[in-house]
Amino acid sequence: MTSDSFNASVHLVDRRLEAGRGDHIALTGPAGTLSYVQLAAHVSDLATGLRVLGVRPEERVLLVMSDRPETVITILAVMRIGAVAVPVSTMYNATELAALVRDSRARVVVCTPDFDTIVRETLRTAPEVAVLVVADEPAPGRLLAGPPGRPAADVSGRRGAEPGAPIPGDAGEADTPVCRWADVLETGRAAQPRAFDTWRDSPALWLYTSGTTGAPKAAMHRHGSIQDVYETYGRQVLGIRPDDRCFSVARLFFAYGIGNSMFFPLAAGATAILDPARPTPAGVVNRVMEERPTLFFAGPTFFAALLASDAPAHAFESVRLAVSAGEALPAEIYRRFTDRFGVDIIDGLGSTEALHIFISNQPGRVRPGSSGTVVPGYEAKLLDDSGAPVSDGEPGHLYVRGDSVATGYWCRTATTRQVFQGEWLRTGDTYVRGEDGFYQCLGRSNDMIKAGGIWVSPMEVEARLLQHESVGECAVVAHIDAEGLEKPVACVVPAPGRTVDPVELVGFCRDGLASFKRPREVLVLDELPKTATGKIQRVVVRQIAADLLGKSATA
């Protein structure tokens, strides 16, 4: 490699060995435990095995994998050989997965056993896939195989096995060859490792996002961006240390999750706790009490679910700091959680396009109900509809710039030009900035409500509703009334053991807000529709409100 070379996989793993911390635990959890020296050996072996399998530099490798050591190893191995890791949501059905396979032009797909069936169904309509690699269900201690004192993976560029050598396998759906992840690993172990010479601007990672513009699209990230998010948010805001243990409810296929469970802990030489099980309040509480993380990551919806659970007050006693992202954390949920569990939460704003969080509260400097201040290394600005800057205290469309911002969307020229405007990323959020530099979210730009000719932030009304003891969750949306006017409507899920009185809630909002902001109707629901990331699906909520009120939903 040259002096200009930079590979995120080498940066995240090999430096720990060079620092003499190879015996420190890198990954742990119910699916297996690996030290840094073991992780480095497996990454080197799998990388070489993927080259033997025929994976080429800058080629996409699509992953449908639960959170387990094999997933981290695979992402690192793909990046190590200059290919592009594409972890995708494990919540997609076969039709949705097939669309992503075709869009990414992936020839190699890797899955864990829990998604073997749906991936094989996907291959029936994705004949361009050349091989499916299935991770075995590991026996206890399986991942610990291999000499514990094995040296760091060789990245010196030695000549290795030429790609294309056969690896044992069988035939999958539509005659797609299928091979075992363990066999790819073993093939690489028997060959000579060979690293591809990447640099900071080389493509490393694609993350699919729907955002506000419809169908999923791949945000393309560079090797250097992975270091950037650690140096900005991970080091300067989170303050992650080598003795930290990180546990994230957000999965590895999310930008938020891959930072929490991979980029930050590995860059700092800390430990990531991985759990392949679907997150539930009871399951997460058990994992926290058993594994005792010091850093805990979730979203507002999950924090609310934890509050609605019977989790004991001491459940989070090992956690020194909790982090919330994905959507704005209501001040009332912050207060309830910190009062009950004694753990501070720093809420922040990030996006798939920026790879992680760029506006955040900071430890010891939290303003409940705000997203905090701009993370060092980023810049933000608020513009009105004409593109002119707005004054402090005035709402505007949020733009951000920083080195971690994606290079664009794969094969989405029009959308790329709309969202990536020069050095600036248009986030699609409406914010207001205070004179002290704190940013407050008013909602997605297309979620704002104009009631009586005055703009209303749904989040402001929701924050008031959540202060009422009868409200567990809520979403405020726009609805067109019989006169064709736009009015706020609240859809409310009762708190456990409580009953909602709609008239009382309207009065409660009137008492705490300007009268025009009050919801004109309160609809009681059993649950709110949510996306795979746990965000409220406001488009669906608007349609539910329209159906219940007998009118058409607003666009």
The helices-and-strands tally (H runs, E runs) of the chain is 16, 27
Given this model, what pLDDT does residue 150 score?
36
- Reported as half-sphere exposure (CB side, CA atoms, 13 A), residue 332 has a value of 18
User: Which helix or strand (DSSP H or E) is residue 204 part of?
Assistant: strand 203-209
| Closest to 46 measured CA to CA, from 20, 85, 15 | 85
pLDDT digits (tens, 9 = 90+) for 194-236: 668 899 999 999 999 865 445 789 999 999 999 999 999 999 9
| Closest to 265 measured CA to CA, from 64, 7, 45, 28 | 28
Please, which residues have CB within 8 angstroms of residue 106's CB and are 6 or more apart in sequence? 59, 60, 61, 62, 86, 129
> Residue range 385-408: average pLDDT?
96
Given this model, what pLDDT does residue 494 score?
96
Given this model, what pLDDT does residue 483 score?
64
d(CA 517, CA 500): 19
Given this model, what pLDDT does residue 213 score?
42
pTM confidence score: 0.83
Q: Give the number of other CB atoms < 10 A from CB of residue 469.
A: 8
User: Which helix or strand (DSSP H or E) is residue 40 part of?
Assistant: helix 36-53
Give the residue, 514 or 544, on which the prediction is more confident.
544
Give the residue, 159 or 233, on which the prediction is more confident.
233
Quickly state the pLDDT bin for 1 (edges 50, 70, 90): low
**Confidence check: pLDDT of 148 > 60:** no
pLDDT digits (tens, 9 = 90+) for 174-184: 578 899 999 99
Q: All domains of the chain, ordered by start, with CATH?
A: 8-19+32-199 (3.40.50.980), 224-444 (3.40.50.12780), 448-549 (3.30.300.30)
d(CA 128, CA 81): 22
Identify whether the C-beta of residue 430 lies closer than 8 Å to the C-beta of residue 398. Answer: yes
Q: Give the number of other CB atoms < 10 A from CB of residue 86.
A: 26
Which 3-state string (H, E, C) describes 464-527?
HHCCCCCEEEEEEEEEECCCCCEEEEEEEEECCCCCCCHHHHHHHHHHHCCHHHCCCEEEECCC
Sequence letter at residue 467: Q
> Residue range 520-539: average pLDDT?
88
| Closest to 293 measured CA to CA, from 336, 241, 363, 232 | 241
Task: Look over the chain and give the mean of its residue pLDDT values, rounded to a whole number.
Answer: 89
Given this model, what pLDDT does residue 167 score?
53
pLDDT digits (tens, 9 = 90+) for 69-120: 999 999 999 999 999 999 999 988 898 899 999 999 999 999 999 999 999 9
Quickly state the pLDDT bin for 366 (edges 50, 70, 90): very high
Given this model, what pLDDT does residue 195 score?
66
Give the residue, 143 or 467, on which the prediction is more confident.
467
203: left (phi over 0), alpha (psi -120 to 50) or beta: beta
Q: Which of 113-127, 337-351, 441-455, 527-541 is the most confident on average? A: 337-351
> Residue range 40-57: average pLDDT?
95
**Confidence check: pLDDT of 173 > 60:** no
Residue 41's alpha-carbon distances to 140, 151, 183, 210, 216, in angstroms, are 19, 7, 15, 36, 35
Given this model, what pLDDT does residue 196 score?
80
Can you name the residues that pair with 296 across neighbouring β-strands?
A: 247, 322
**Confidence check: pLDDT of 306 > 50:** yes
Quickly state the pLDDT bin for 130 (edges 50, 70, 90): very high
